[in-house]
Chain A
Amino acid sequence: MNWNFQLGIHPDADQLSLFVEGAATSREHERMLAHLAECAECRKAVFFMQPQEETQRAARTPVKGWIWGRLLPVGLPAAALACGLVAVLVHIWNRDSALRNPQQVASLRKPEVHLPPTTVAPSTDSEVQRSGTARGAAPASNLSGHANLSSPKSLNLPEAGGQAAAKVAAPETIAAGLSANAPVGRAGGSAGGVIGGISPQLPLNGRNFTNLQQIPAPSGAQDAASQNSLAKKKDLGGLMIEQASGQDKALAGVSGRITDRTGAAISGVSVFVRDAVGKTRETTTSADGSFNLTGLPAGRYELTATANGFKTIEQSIELNPSQLAMMEPVLDVGKVSETVEVTSAAAQLQTESANVGQVITGQVVAEIPGVGRDVGVPSGLPVTATVSHGKRLISLDNAGNLFLSRNRGKKWKKINPQWTGKAVRIELTPAYSSEATAKPKNETLGKANEAAVFLLTTDSGTVWTSKDGAHWRKQ
């Protein structure tokens, strides 16, 4: 080997192969390039060493740089037009999905019991699926499970059809949704106590779901849940690992096809993968029963497939970097009213029963971490009282700080006290709620009296009033 490329001396086969295989050190690489730049023969050898494929590409690719210059006058408006079109489409799509209200969804979901094994598509029609997934986008991350079915709004059913449909069509989701929400619904209230027969009309707002995320499952409950889920696991089709063709080596994916016992493809199955920290990704199987989830960081995942009329299956999968796991799960037809336990963060609560009205003991409620600070005000301190009026929420933490949210608790703003001393009590005008300790969740404040007034009492006993929660006046 001679790295002093003197006249007439070429790198040997070893150095050439190191260069071509990319195994050369940066110095060797640099020197080889310098030699190749000037030595036509070694250049030729290097190109000879490339495997076959290149010979098929006989056409010489021109340098494209200057072509862009010529295309620019045409290309630029075209690109702008395309952008506009996409924006319009996105807007239309969003409006479309927003228009579908929950009642519509609930009534569309027909009760189905004992599907015959040959059924290919479950009862859910594509309309429902589409709106379900579109709406489910926000809550999906919270429930980290069967989110598209257990959207909070679907609980707000009309008395007659809705409840029945909910009971039969998707009891498991009701159970999950309710059990998850019930304790939070009363979280601001006094500790303990028994809530009997929570009605499905319980209005829930986004804030409750935000809280759900913050509740870590007590270890005991989680163990039980995982045991249950183990018992529930079905034998899935063989797991094959294929090399993904993607460029990004760090990411992995899973794809496959879901069938029933007869081998018929099931469309519209919700497929979720959940990673170790509870982040979920979901997709729905297409008409041929296939699904594809890519761009997942490598690691261990729980894969869940749920479809109306079929038993939910779970499978844990290990995704290696740049590999595409192939799965072919088989779903068993299940009784629709069968209880399916939900292994989301809400599993700590009673989910064994599909009954809508259920009893949650004070013990359970008291055990839930996060009760009392469910509103999650910016100070991070426990909230002593919360009152709401429409979208407006006012919370008081135990240090006497007052926070106002104009969007149901999504964003909070601290209110600078105009009063002296510490605020100890907040309430809404007596007509609506004088109990500062109970969050007036059930109120249909959309139609509420405009004249609702917030009252604040300081530790010195003075009372301040405000109509909007931001501007206060001494009474």
Chain B
Amino acid sequence: MDTPPANINQTEPSGAEDCTASVAKGAAVEMELGPESRLLPEMLGEELSQAAGAELIELSKAEFAEALETIGAKDNFGLDPGKQPNERQRELFWRALHLEELAIARGCALGRESAWRRFLAQYREPLTRAAVEMTGSVALGEELASALYSELFGLTEREGKRWSPLLRYSGRGSLMGWLRAILAQRRVNQYRKIGRETELGEIEPAARVSEQIELKQLEDLRAAIKMTLTAASAEERFVLSAYYLDQHTLHEISRVLRVHEATVSRKLKRATEHLRKQLLRTLRERGLSRRAAEEALGIDPRDVDMNLRRLLQDSEGGPNSNKERQE
């Protein structure tokens, strides 16, 4: 039961430090792209730059074209790595970008006045609102938003240069979605810094006492559940952890997965049943009688729910790190 803190220590946060590192990498990619490796035809570059209204925000065609090239190279034009995109695929990829928003982000990252004016006019209010929503408090939300602003303005310097996370916006999603993501990451950081202890303490401290009794049984299951989880699909694992570990509602999960609540419910049920069956099998393979195995898991579905939650919590560290190392 004391693994979670260790786990969090293991997986380092999506903090500003990480971003810094990755932005530096992104900049390096840009540097490497010499003029000889240009893939964007001049005509198309001009057209896209016009569509984006790049000139209105003091962004030259060359700068915008460079942004397009970088993004294309970075994501391999939306294709799986290793595949060579042809001209048509490249064009489709570029055309599908949120060009206008990309131009604004680039303009801001390069410190263009008019880009910032448009950015503030368009995104300031929604961004603050999103921050207030996330924190659930006006004061905290405004604080979070203004901290993000200063970061976006490029007030932090890296290697003697101003940089802004906006450089990392690819234009594949909406700029507002990207801002929400950044905001959420910063919020998680805040959470981690301020409330790690309290947060972990919140996980049903009362229940822990009674759990002690069954701890021995759970020990038997731990290895089994590690194995079973490794075999489950990514989506199943996500649903299981979001539901049992984070205690999100089916509705919340359904919104993230963009499916109906009932679908999530079905998926969860299937995943739980699958897990239970697998666990039973594993336990019986290890010499437990069917009855003993069922007792260990709990026959009532509600018991299984409870037990699964504990098992997932307990075993999260294990398959977790294994997985990540594999990848």
Contacts and interface: CB of A to CB of B under 8 A. Distances in A.
Interface of A: 1-2, 4-14, 16-18, 20-23, 25, 27, 30-31, 33-34, 36-52, 54-55, 57, 59-61, 63-66
Contacts of A42: 14, 188
B247 A60 contact: yes
A51 B252 CA distance: 10
A61 B255 CA distance: 14
Contacts of A2: 22
A36 B134 CA distance: 19
16 contacts: A1-B26, A2-B22, A10-B12, A12-B19, A13-B165, A34-B323, A36-B241, A37-B240, A40-B7, A41-B192, A43-B246, A44-B191, A54-B249, A54-B255, A55-B133, A64-B265
A38 B324 CA distance: 9
Contacts of A41: 8, 11, 13-14, 188, 192
B325 A7 contact: yes
A45 B188 contact: yes
Contact of B320 (A38, A55, A61, A64): A38
B256 A16 contact: no
B188 A39 contact: no
Interface string B122-148: 000000001001101000000000000
B184 A61 contact: no
Contact of B242 (A10, A43, A45): A43
Nearest to A42: B14
A66 B301 contact: yes
Which of B177, B265, B321 has most A Cβ within 10 Å? B177
B264 to A, nearest CB: 9
A7 B10 contact: yes
Contact of B11 (A8, A13, A33): A8
A256 B268 CA distance: 43
Contacts of A59: 249
Contacts of B247: 60
A139 B311 CA distance: 66
A42 B192 CA distance: 12
Interface residues of B, number: 72
Contacts of B170: 14
B178 A5 contact: no
Given A25-B80, A30-B234, A51-B133, 18 more contacts: A5-B324, A10-B11, A12-B14, A12-B19, A20-B180, A23-B172, A36-B238, A37-B238, A38-B319, A40-B7, A41-B14, A43-B241, A43-B246, A47-B256, A48-B188, A57-B252, A63-B250, A63-B305
A44 B238 CA distance: 12
Contact of B238 (A10, A33, A49, A55): A33
Given A44-B246, A66-B302, A13 B181 contact: yes
A54 B184 contact: no
Interface secondary structure of A, over-half rule = helix
A41 B169 CA distance: 21
A61 B250 contact: yes
Nearest to A36: B238
Nearest to A7: B324
B10 A10 contact: no
Nearest to B248: A47
Contact of A49 (B180, B305, B320): B180
A64 B268 CA distance: 10
Contact of A61 (B22, B192, B237, B251): B251
A13 B185 contact: yes
B80 A27 contact: yes
B310 to A, nearest CB: 16
B206 to A, nearest CB: 17
Given A10-B14, A23-B172, A16 B181 contact: yes
A49 to B, nearest CB: 5
B177 A17 contact: yes
Given A44-B188, A44-B246, A48-B184, A1 B74 contact: yes
B235 interface: yes
A52 B19 CA distance: 26
A45 B14 contact: yes
A14 B302 contact: no
Given A7-B325, A13-B168, A39 B11 contact: yes
Nearest to B325: A7
Interface in B167-219: 168-170, 172-174, 177-178, 180-185, 187-188, 191-192
A48 B316 CA distance: 22
B305 A22 contact: no
The 5 closest A-B pairs by CB, nearest first: A37-B237, A8-B12, A48-B184, A34-B234, A17-B177
A8 B320 contact: no
A5 B320 CA distance: 11
Nearest to B320: A38
Contacts of B169: 13-14
Nearest to A3: B81
A47 B252 contact: yes
A40 B316 CA distance: 10
B78 interface: yes
Contact of B174 (A16, A21, A38): A21
A304 B84 CA distance: 57
Contacts of A65: 265, 269, 301
A447 B324 CA distance: 89
B91 to A, nearest CB: 17
A13 B14 CA distance: 9
B42 interface: no
Which of A4, A14, A48 has most B Cβ within 10 Å? A14
A46 B256 CA distance: 7
Contact of A14 (B181, B187, B301): B181
Contacts of A57: 249, 251-252
Contacts of A46: 184, 256
Given A14-B168, A49-B180, A54-B255, A37 B234 contact: yes
A7 B321 contact: yes
